[in-house]
Structure 1
């Protein structure tokens, strides 16, 4: 992933919750693989409307030249990770309607993050590191 200081929605960036970054690696002799995940937030455009999304990123690479320092979140995210499928959206807020979880507590938790996030567009949400793109 590539970390950028400037937000450009066209680059499809993610704000990552570093405290949720998990993963494991395997391999030897210059061929290592990594498989992990992290919670993230992102903005997208749907039918001309900017929306705020909450979900998770699946992070992996099958061909890394060396082991990753799993204790260094930025080093892990800066590796040549594959995220071609983008984030798995668990909830989305467009300013008037919510799509996502039907469990009231989960919905309320999502909206507590997504409503201020959209109101502060394109600001980086508090507690998240970004902007990261593939």
Structure 2
């Protein structure tokens, strides 16, 4: 008798490859963001889309705070049209990163989410900025 894992057969390898390649067009992870930020020349803009209070309590170093409701073309005008944005929020229990990514996509901007958010960042052992008082 198959387990719950194998009761539904895995996809053929070609379909699995297409699926996983496709998913990486939409998301990145905390480790890759950290590596890029550590280079000193990231090729994206990291957006923290949490509340101002949560951002002030500690955020990913190098992140810009921008709420989804403030994502309008005039606020993004200083960024070239091909700027890649990476959004994050609190963690896997929060859909703020996805909602912000949807908004950026509506504005025609290239975007990914950082899966894991702040929870993933901390789980990887990376530091947040100290709280701002």
Specify the structure having the higher radius of gyration (Cα).
Answer: 2
Structure with a larger share of its residues in strand:
1
TM-score above 0.5 = no
- What is the TM-score normalised by the length of structure 2? 0.25
Considering fraction of residues, name the structure with more helix. 2
